[in-house]
Amino acid sequence: MRARSRRMRKGVSDLIVVLVMAAIAIPVAFAVQSWLQGQASKVSEQTAIPEISGTLTSKELRNGTLTVTIKLKNNSDSDFSVTGVNIVGSDGTTTAAQYSTIPAGGTVSPGQTLVIVATGSVTSPQLVVVTLTSDAGATTTVEIPL
């Protein structure tokens, strides 16, 4: 019995072990947290929402004339006006399309949507490119694959 009690006295106290582990774990936790915050800020910088997003809602090709209906959504803080619609063929040729907008006027406000009905002569359409200009004068394009 006597030999056993001497061994127990020479060992490290459980309380000391717990305190040392906490002293190591807390700074490591703060270091991991700051690293994760840095990674999260990089991800949010890389995933930018486009100013204008476009969706093809209908497409009809009849006798070499393409008619498409496109819905645009303004995700920015500026008004945008449609300045042109082009249809790109599979051979790379670009054709200017006749278009009308709903609502009329061709301006889409922040958070709002705009519908474009465009018609153009093309044999094998591949892409519709909508050109818009912001109220500040910046030009942007939206490409909608067909």
pLDDT for residue 41 is more than 80: no
Residues 41, 59 within the same domain: no
From the centroid of its chain, how far is CA 121? 32
Residues 128, 70 within the same domain: yes
Residues 36, 58 within the same domain: no
pLDDT digits (tens, 9 = 90+) for 57-86: 999 988 888 999 999 999 888 899 999 999
pLDDT for residue 117 is more than 90: yes
Rounded CA gap, 3 and 107, in Å? 91
Residues 36, 56 within the same domain: no
Residues 77, 120 within the same domain: yes
User: Into how many domains does the chain fold?
Assistant: 2
Are the C-beta atoms of residues 75 and 50 closer than 8 Å to each other? yes
Q: Record the tokens describing residue 79, joined without a space.
A: 């008004």
The average confidence (pLDDT) of the chain is: 86
**pTM score, two decimals?**
0.65
Residues 59, 105 within the same domain: yes
Give me the domain span that covers residue 42: 2-46
Which residues does 49 contact at the CB level (< 8 Å), separation at least 6?
75
Residues 91, 124 within the same domain: yes
Residues 40, 86 within the same domain: no
Residues 30, 56 within the same domain: no
% of the chain at pLDDT higher than 90: 45
